[in-house]
Homo-oligomer: A and B are copies of this chain.
């Protein structure tokens, strides 16, 4: 919280991920940063103090199941605090392909896509096969038994038969968002 305060005091936009709600409440009680808000699903404290230029392109964040939402939400708030416009495409796991295929056009327009999936993590390969932009894949620890806390999804994504898929740590929505944002910013910077 010390780090948060010192960054915030300089007028920056600040993001604290993996923060429990009671940390936010303690911060709120100080009344120092009335614009700070708590994003419950993402478990993040967000403080927007500077207005950001919104990105031109929308960054799609695709999830396999509803249980993957907290990780997707972390990716979303991270990308947004860095200026990205995002769209969450939920619950389009590979066992119901039609739901995913309905979003094909939208996905094919993106500069870069974040795919969030636990259990068998097959969604990254399928999305990777549908588009020609890079895919940043986030395995999640959703699952049980032989998912081994996200190992299954991690290995799946690393072995993706679709080229152009790169992977971040299990449940690391933050790092996926930073990587995707860096890519998108480089692209839009050139325009």
Classify chain A's interface size.
35 or more
Residues A155 and B156 in contact, CB atoms below 8 Å apart: yes
Residues of B within 8 A of A190 (CB): 187-188, 190-191
Distance to closest chain B CB from A180 (angstroms): 8
If A97-B130, A165-B175 touch, whether A152 touches B159 (CB-CB below 8 Å) is yes
Expressed in whole angstroms, the Cα–Cα distance for A162 and B122 within the complex equals 11
If A145-B158, A150-B145 touch, whether A134 touches B167 (CB-CB below 8 Å) is no
Residues A179 and B161 in contact, CB atoms below 8 Å apart: no
Residues of B within 8 A of A178 (CB): 163-164
Among B119, B158, B162, B164, the residue within 8 A (CB) of A159 is B119
Integer count of this chain's copies in the complex = 8
Q: A60 on the interface (CB 8 Å rule)? A: no
Residues B64 and A161 in contact, CB atoms below 8 Å apart: yes
Residues B156 and A120 in contact, CB atoms below 8 Å apart: yes
Expressed in whole angstroms, the Cα–Cα distance for A170 and B151 within the complex equals 15
Among B132, B144, B159, the residue within 8 A (CB) of A146 is B159
Residues of B within 8 A of A65 (CB): 161
Residues of B within 8 A of A51 (CB): none
27 contacts between A and B (CB under 8 A): A94-B122, A94-B129, A97-B130, A112-B183, A112-B186, A120-B155, A122-B122, A133-B186, A134-B179, A134-B182, A134-B183, A143-B159, A145-B149, A145-B154, A145-B159, A145-B169, A145-B172, A146-B158, A147-B169, A148-B155, A151-B155, A152-B155, A163-B174, A163-B178, A165-B179, A167-B167, A186-B187
